[in-house]
């Protein structure tokens, strides 16, 4: 997760940096509401950064990130970046996890191979009993062989002769 929560500022330091005087004692402190202008209606939690306006202006949130978003009109990512709590290194991310095309699930691949194997067995049985291979059967066998080749390629098997 690109948000590094540990890097969010301490609630007390953050709220003071927002020009708020934190009054009272204990976990919840009283300060002015920067959203509707109330002089002492905002309560902020120094432990987790939660805030709520008691005057009912609707300002509330669970941490300093939520406050920063609301107070500065920023989106989640912008606010996290602004607070220095966003790890943004897509290049690094890309090199660490080399992208592979999503392969055919093994279960599906096996189901296809089983079907192809059945076609081959039936065609071989017909030939063994003297029945000529029809054009349609021949086409199915060619398709099956091509499909097996593709599946082998996909799982990295060197199936070329």
Q: How far is the CB of 70 from Zn ion (least distance, A)?
A: 10
Q: How far is the CB of 90 from Zn ion (least distance, A)?
A: 38
Phi, psi torsion values for 40, nearest 5 degrees: -145, 30
Which is closer to Zn ion, CB of 58 or CB of 84?
Answer: 58
Beta strands in the chain (DSSP E): 28-31, 42-45, 51-53, 60-61
Q: How far is the CB of 57 from Zn ion (least distance, A)?
A: 3
Q: Establish if 113 lies at the interface with Zn ion (CB under 5 A).
A: no
Any idea what DSSP says for residue 76? H
Considering only the stretches 13-21, 52-60, 92-100, 106-114, report the one whose residues sit in contact with Zn ion under the rule CB under 5 A: 52-60
Q: Establish if 59 lies at the interface with Zn ion (CB under 5 A).
A: yes
Residues in the chain: 161
Q: How far is the CB of 61 from Zn ion (least distance, A)?
A: 12
Residues 28-47 that bind Zn ion (CB under 5 A): 33, 35-36, 38
Distance in angstroms (rounded) separating the CA atoms of residues 57 and 51? 12
Q: Which residues contact 141 (CB under 8 A, 6 or more apart)?
A: 119, 120, 123, 133
Q: Establish if 53 lies at the interface with Zn ion (CB under 5 A).
A: yes
Applying CB under 5 A, what is the total number of residues that bind Zn ion?
8
Distance in angstroms (rounded) separating the CA atoms of residues 133 and 124? 9
Residues that bind Zn ion (CB under 5 A): 33, 35-36, 38, 53, 55, 57, 59
């Amino acid at each position: 997760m690109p948000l590094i929560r540990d890097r969010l500022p301490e609630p007390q330091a953050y709220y003071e940096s927002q020009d708020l005087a934190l009054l009272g004692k204990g976990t919840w402190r009283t300060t002015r509401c920067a959203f509707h202008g109330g002089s002492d209606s905002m309560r902020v939690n120094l432990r987790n950064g939660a805030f709520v306006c008691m005057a009912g202006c609707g300002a509330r949130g669970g941490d300093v990130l939520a406050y920063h978003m609301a107070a500065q009109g920023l989106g989640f990512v912008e606010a996290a970046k602004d607070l220095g709590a966003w790890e943004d290194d897509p290049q690094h991310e890309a090199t660490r996890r080399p992208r592979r095309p999503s392969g055919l699930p093994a279960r599906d691949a096996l189901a296809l191979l089983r079907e192809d194997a059945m076609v081959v067995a039936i065609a071989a049985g017909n030939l063994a009993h003297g029945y000529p291979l029809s054009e349609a059967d021949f086409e199915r066998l060619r398709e099956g062989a091509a499909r097996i080749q593709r599946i082998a390629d996909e799982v990295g098997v060197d199936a070329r002769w």
